[in-house]
Amino acid sequence: MEKLDLSEAEWRARLSPEQYHVLREAGTERAFTGKYNSNKADGVYYCAGCGAELFDAEEKYDSGSGWPSFTAPVDIDAVEEIRDASHGMIRTEVRCATCEGHLGHVFPDGPGVNGLRYCMNSASLDFKSRDDAE
């Protein structure tokens, strides 16, 4: 997978201020405020930074956390998982494998066969309905 490597000026021109804060500065949107938290439409979620395909709506579920949550990415190689020891806790950060944009974190408390909850920021995602693709 080829990496997308842009300058900070190019990222700022490409992204909204909120998207830049989340994707490039590892920020987090407030719980229950993201546009995709309650989205129940069928489709695919893409990286808002580079357009890489990340999550299928079939893997999305309501975790009650206030952020869009998925049981798995479309392909394990679509994301990178990195140890995050910020904010006085140990977590696993999830980044887009193509542009290294911060997406959110993965936790071992989800449903499904792998027991994972990929807790993502809406600001890091774009959604395309399957109805629109047909």
Which residues are known binding-site members for Zn(2+)? 47, 50, 96, 99
| Tokens, residue 131 | 């109805």
84 is a catalytic site residue:
no
**φ, ψ dihedrals at 29, nearest 5°:** -75, 155
* Number of CB atoms found within 10 A of residue 56's CB: 17
What is the torsional sign of CA 36, 59, 64, 83? negative
CA neighbor of 69 nearest in space, from 59, 81, 79, 83: 59
Kindly report the CA angle at 81 between 49 and 74, in degrees rounded to 5?
A: 65
The active-site residue, picked from 48, 106, 119, 123, is: 119
For 59, the 3-state DSSP assignment is: helix
Which positions make up the binding site? Answer: 47, 50, 96, 99
- Supply the residues annotated as catalytic: 119
